[in-house]
Amino acid sequence: MAKLYAISDLHLSYPLNTSTWNLLQPKPPGSGLILAGDIGESATHLTTAFERAKACFTHVFWVPGNHELYSISSHMAKHPADQLKGEAKYNALVELAREYGVLTPEDDWMLWPGPDGVDVVIALVFTLYDYSFRPADVSREKALEWAMEENIYATDEAVLHPDPYSSRDEWCTKLCERWELKFSDYASRYPNSKFVIVNHWPLREDLVFIPKVPRFSLWCGTKRTQDWTEVGRFGADYGGALVVVSGHLHVRRTDVKEGVRYEEVSLGYPRHWEKARDASKGANEMLRQILPGAGIVVEEGQRIWRPQG
């Protein structure tokens, strides 16, 4: 069975991260690699990632994170896409990925051999966030003020533009509406099939565990995606999710909730994988096997931390 791996948050602006990425080793023919967002901030970073990934894997998948969507100032931009804003930048990066034969959320979702020889659908999505990962007593209008009470304020607020939408909230809503229609379409095409859902941001609020900066949750997803894994959510033929792949948190772990396996696959900034480096591990060891699976049994409700793999 062909193996499917995943990694996110390569952050190739850091030389240490680029160095370990350049050591990526080829996998057997037919293997696949998911790049689950925050590869870097520039088109050059994506080019570096795509070139190495395609040299080592037959199939490569990419979904954007927030860092890819940052607009770079003119004196630092090296590619026409770097200065673009919002949806225009996303669309330009989709075209860049296609130049390398990398699949994106805008392409047809691919079937992949699943357990027991039954194909699963690799569902690449891009949701952004809508600030809804917050306590019930904090209004949307007061959300940023609530975060700033603990000196939390995301860089996104300055350099991730929602154009042509009025806000990131609106962009998130439009994106989610699109994917919900696509899920329904694929459920009807492939009745009762299981899905591997790939999104940079966690689909569930209860998976956001960042104790040092808990109020950063505002920029970590949308409550709208909570039930996307459930059987029947997108029509009677929707078989639900088998696995969900995400990044963003820089906290590698595996969770099982309601029978679905959730894999956080970040590499992170150099400080986040320092223990792995100390153990002589790098990008090759930090790839997470999504299918057929890493062979570790995780029980319902259990969480396994994976700082080194």
Q: Closest Cα to residue 146, out of 127, 133, 129?
A: 133
**The residue count for the chain:** 309
Please tell me what DSSP assigns to residue 249. S
Contact between 164 and 87 under an 8 Å Cβ cutoff? The reply is yes
Please state the pTM of the whole predicted model: 0.97
Determine the pLDDT at residue 248. 99
What is the full per-residue pLDDT of the chain (309 aa) written as tens digits? 899 999 999 999 999 999 999 999 999 999 999 999 999 999 999 999 999 999 999 999 999 999 999 998 766 777 888 999 999 999 999 999 999 999 999 999 999 999 888 999 999 999 999 999 999 999 999 999 999 999 999 999 999 999 999 999 999 999 999 999 999 999 999 999 999 999 999 999 999 999 999 999 999 999 999 999 999 999 999 999 999 999 999 999 999 999 999 999 999 999 999 999 999 999 999 999 999 987 777 889 889 999 988
Q: Which helix (H) or strand (E) holds 60?
A: strand 59-62
Tokens linked to 23: 């050591």
Q: What pLDDT, in 10s, does the model give residues 103-125?
A: 999 999 999 999 888 999 999 99
Q: Residue holding tokens 């090759």? A: 284
pLDDT tens for 192-222 read 999 999 999 999 999 999 999 999 999 999 9
Amino acid at 119: D
Encoded amino acid at 192, one letter: N
4-305 has CATH 3.40.1710 classification? no
